[in-house]
Amino acid sequence: MPIVNIQITREGSGPGRDAATAEEKAALIRGVSQLLLDVLGKPLDSTFVVIEEVPLENWGWYGMPVPELRRRRAEET
């Protein structure tokens, strides 16, 4: 009876989108549930998956919020 919590930044995976689509979320849920069945033999009805979408300014890496990190990287290149 696994619980999988997936935290991602709230943003689109392509132009014109500002969040993961329902199809992308369904693919994550299907894929990770299948993985737990394949690797550990956990039946699909015993796996819960929760996706949490985190605003970009609430996510930190390299000691700074992601928007600032991306701005710096863009300037460097």
Residues assigned a catalytic role: 2
Q: Which H or E element spans position 31?
A: helix 22-40
Task: Write each residue from 21 to 40 as x if it is in contact with its own copies (CB under 8 A), else as -, in one continuous string.
Answer: -x-xxxxxxxxxxxxx-xxx
Q: Should residue 51 be labelled a site residue for its own copies when binding is judged by CB under 8 A? A: yes
CB of 66 to its own copies, least distance (A): 7
Q: Should residue 7 be labelled a site residue for its own copies when binding is judged by CB under 8 A? A: yes
* Residue corresponding to tokens 């290149």: 77
CB-side neighbour CA atoms (13 Å) of 67: 7
Q: Are 72 and 40 in contact (CB under 8 A)?
A: no
Q: Should residue 73 be labelled a site residue for its own copies when binding is judged by CB under 8 A? A: no
C-beta atoms surrounding 75 within 10 Å? 7
Residues lying near its own copies in the complex (CB under 8 A) are found at 1-9, 13, 20, 22, 24-36, 38-42, 44-54, 57-66, 68
